[in-house]
Amino acid sequence: MSTRRVTMAQALVGFLKNQYVERDGLESKFFAGAWGIFGHGNIAGIGQALQQNPDFRYFLCRNEQAAVHISTAFAKAKNRLSTFACVSSIGPGATNMITGAATATINRIPVLLLPGDIFARRNVAPVLQQLESEHSQDISVNDAFKPVSRYWDRINRADQLPCAIVEAMRVLTSPAQTGAVTLALPQDVQSEAWDYPEEMFERRVWHIARPEPERALLTRAAAMIRAAKRPMIVAGGGVIYSDASAALARLASRTGIPVGETQAGKGSLPFDHAQNLGAIGVTGTPGANIAARDADCVITIGTRLSDFTTASKTAFQNQHVRFININVNETDAFKHAGLPLIADARAAIEQLEAALSGFQVAAEYANCVAQWKDRWETETDRIFGLRHGPPVSQGEVIGSVNRASRPEDVVVCAAGSLPGDLHKLWRTRQPKGYHLEYGYSCMGYEVAGGLGVKMADPSRDVYVMVGDGSYLMMASEITTSIQEGYKLNIIVLDNHGFSSIGGLSQAIGSRGFGTDYRLRRTETGELDGEYVPVDFVALSTGLGACAVRATSRDDLERALDRMHSHERTSVIVIEVDKEMRVPGYESWWDVPISEVSEIESIRQAREKYEQAIKKERRHEVAAGGRSA
């Protein structure tokens, strides 16, 4: 066997740069390079290996958490067919990546994390940044990656690497298993040489399968749909990752079955497709939520059925409702006692369409769908057309940005009140036009995520819409976008704190406690003074962006216009009225309220809560579904 004597880190980089994936006959490189920050825990190992492999590009970011968000957003925009590796030193550099790892894993997006680790040889311990333990020397902060990784390993000997990296690749390229994969790299082992088999460095292509649904279950599913009076489809992220939008559009058009979209699934259909009722769930449209309420057969495709989609299990109220779950992931396919079609979304949709040939929903139901759609367009126009303030309303700002963007452009967002409003209002015209990280809803994802999306397809303009709270948490990657020459369009909606959690606080009777950015007043000892002054324009220009403030709607539209001519990352800061919210429609979310309290408003909220929770269903124990 011919071998190559290289360090463990050199072998790792040598392997990663030769990994490819193939789906539907199309091949692409799986890793677009590595993001990260060096420290003593990786500069001499992975850092040196990256330096001698310029064809595996190293990208320097400002925060390791951001490195993972950039990579996650890139991989999501690439339908999980490509991603980055993320490297860090030991200790804080490594643990900064844990939030990113959780974000990737919860959203089922592949990223490879390579945190440095303490010496395997141990004799010099405790090294700088080492967590010591009395009961084991086989522990480091990197053990904290275990619950947030789909595969976790520590390379304690150079010759362990080949066994670990093929497992890492298996998980990263598995549509059902994918998420963050962590290989912890002790800093001494990174620099140790071994005679690695030459074969390890050959080009390797990982096939991404499109598993087909089981025939017998597909036949049963088609029979269930044919017998249904009010069938409905819930489209999740899996529709988009599987590139199944065109297949779904055909199925919906031919059968007339309406579609509700989850956050990850928004964009599955263009907003004006005749069967697209838009957002479903807590942040859904009235049409989608009424359709869900009464549906007797719900066909879910590529969704985890999170509480935002199921309105905390209150969305589906028909006593006879049954679920058919199309999902590559077995756990998801069995949810709600559904008939499990464990399959690729596109393969299953195409086969279902064939099995449903000639089937159409009743004319009366089709009319309802058309009316709901019309009414929703009118409601969206009303919200976009408000002339509130100044400060203007958030809904108007969304309307202006939506109009300023082209169909192929992408809106990026993650946390706050914007995700719900965007879910309802954004008119998505292409499957990749709506990029929401709403699995982990991680404040700080927005700017970093925007950079990942832009890198995935520089021909699209990226509009990052971000609240002041999230912007303050991590605006740092503006600097990185300038370093790399990727232009982002960032709209900062400043409402001096948390509109989302502030609204929730009102709803639970807590009157906004701890959700405004206000100065502490000596008289009261509380945060109830003037607003904390923050100059977001100065912050943005300080990081290297062009930035302007807009105060009115006309101002905003002029600034959006001018944004097109800016060459580098550009920021518009606009104050929005926190109290002028987009309403909720026909839905509910379970946030438990104190059973006892000294505050009257909390007692009142609790009473309402006790009524509302009665609507929660136990679909998981329903007979039928899988045994039907």
Ligand X SMILES: Cc1ncc(C[n+]2csc(CCOP(=O)(O)OP(=O)(O)O)c2C)c(N)n1
When binding is defined by CB under 5 A, the residue of 91, 284, 302, 467 that contacts Mg ion is 467
Given the complex with ligand X, which of 99 and 178 has the nearer CB atom? Answer: 99
Nearer to Mg ion, 200 or 418 (CB): 418
- Segment 444-463, which members bind ligand X (CB under 6 A)? 444
In angstroms, the CA 75 to CA 456 distance is 8
Task: State which of positions 422-441 bind ligand X (CB under 6 A).
Answer: 441
Which one of 417, 479, 569, 587 is in contact with ligand X (CB under 6 A)? 417
151-155-156-161 Cα dihedral, nearest 10 degrees: 130
* Start-end of H helices in 228-344: 237-241, 245-255, 286-294, 307-310, 330-333
Structure tokens at 437: 């990280």
Q: Are 76 and 435 in contact (CB under 8 A)?
A: yes
**What distance in Å separates the CA atoms of residue 225 and residue 231, rounded to the nearest whole number?**
7
Coil vs helix vs strand at 273: coil
72 binds ligand X per the rule CB under 6 A: no
Please give the size of the binding site for ligand X, defined by CB under 6 A.
17
Give the other-Cβ count within 10 Å of 611's Cβ.
8
Nearest-CB residue for Mg ion: 467
Minimum CB separation of residue 422 from ligand X in Å reads 11
Q: Which of 53, 325, 495, 510 binds Mg ion (CB under 5 A)?
A: 495
- Using the rule CB under 6 A, which residue among 183, 299, 369, 418 binds ligand X? 418
Assess 287 for contact with ligand X (CB under 6 A). no
Q: Which is nearer to ligand X, 59 or 498 (CB)?
A: 498
Question: Cβ(69)–Cβ(464) under 8 Å?
Answer: no
Is residue 467 within the footprint of ligand X (CB under 6 A)? yes
DSSP 531: B
Element (H, E) at 83: strand 83-88
What does the alpha-carbon distance between residue 79 and residue 237 come to, in Å, rounded to a whole number?
A: 9
Point out which span in 125-133, 135-143, 301-309, 498-506 binds ligand X (CB under 6 A): 498-506
d(CA 447, CA 66): 9
Neighbours of 307 (CB within 10 A): 15
Contact 414, 436 (CB under 8 A): yes
Q: In angstroms, what is the minimal distance from the CB of 496 to ligand X?
A: 8
Nearer to ligand X, 72 or 82 (CB): 72
The interface region with ligand X, picked from 385-393, 493-501, 602-610, 619-627 by CB under 6 A, is 493-501
Q: Does 510 bind ligand X (CB under 6 A)?
A: no
CA distance 340 to 59: 42
Among 415, 475, 508, 572, binds ligand X (CB under 6 A): 415
Nearer to ligand X, 249 or 501 (CB): 501
Amino acid found at 440: Y
* H or E stretch at 422: helix 418-425
Residue 417 interacts with which of Mg ion, ligand X, none, CB < 5 to 8 Å by class: ligand X
Could you tell me which residues come within 8 angstroms of residue 273 by beta carbon, excluding any fewer than 6 positions away? Answer: 249, 252, 253, 259
The CA–CA distances, whole Å, from 163 to 49, 142, 166, 466, 511 equal 20, 19, 6, 42, 55
Q: Is 469 in the site for ligand X (CB under 6 A)?
A: yes
441 binds, among Mg ion, ligand X, none (CB under 5 to 8 A by kind): ligand X
Q: Which is nearer to ligand X, 107 or 495 (CB)?
A: 495
Does residue 71 interact with ligand X by CB under 6 A?
no
Q: Within the chain, what is the greatest distance between any pair of CA atoms?
A: 79
Dist. CA 94–CA 536, nearest whole Å? 30
Q: Work out the angle at residue 589's Cα, subtended by the Cα atoms of residues 402 and 149, and round it to the nearest 5 degrees.
A: 80
Q: Which of 413, 501, 545, 547 binds ligand X (CB under 6 A)?
A: 501
By CB under 6 A, tell whether 73 contacts ligand X: no
Yes or no: say if 438 and 462 are a contact pair by the CB < 8 Å rule: no
CA–CA separation, 41 and 141 (whole Å): 13
Cα 419 to Cα 264, 302, 431, 434: the distances in Å are 11, 20, 17, 11
The amino acid at residue 158 is A
Q: Which does 501 bind (CB under 5 to 8 A by kind): Mg ion, ligand X, none?
A: ligand X
Which of 498, 536, 588, 609 touches ligand X (CB under 6 A)?
498
Size of site (CB under 5 A) for Mg ion: 4
Least Å distance between CB 382 and ligand X?
A: 21
The smaller minimum CB distance to Mg ion, of residues 247 and 412, is found at 412
Choose the contact partner of 443 out of Mg ion, ligand X, none; CB within 5 to 8 A by kind. ligand X
Q: Does 468 bind Mg ion (CB under 5 A)?
A: yes
Stretch in the footprint of ligand X (CB under 6 A) among 119-127, 254-262, 425-433, 497-505? 497-505
Closer by beta carbon to ligand X, 327 or else 470: 470
Rounded CA separation 117/181 (Å):
15
19/7 Cα distance (integer angstroms): 19
- Shortest Å distance, C-beta 297 to ligand X: 34
Q: Does 499 bind ligand X (CB under 6 A)?
A: yes
User: What does 445 interact with, of Mg ion, ligand X, none (CB < 5 to 8 A by kind)?
Assistant: none
469 binds Mg ion (CB under 5 A): yes
Residue closer to Mg ion, measured from CB, 467 or 509: 467
In the bound complex, what is the minimum distance in angstroms from residue 304's beta carbon to ligand X? 18
Binding site for ligand X (CB under 6 A): 415-418, 441-444, 467-470, 495, 498-501
Binding site for Mg ion (CB under 5 A): 467-469, 495
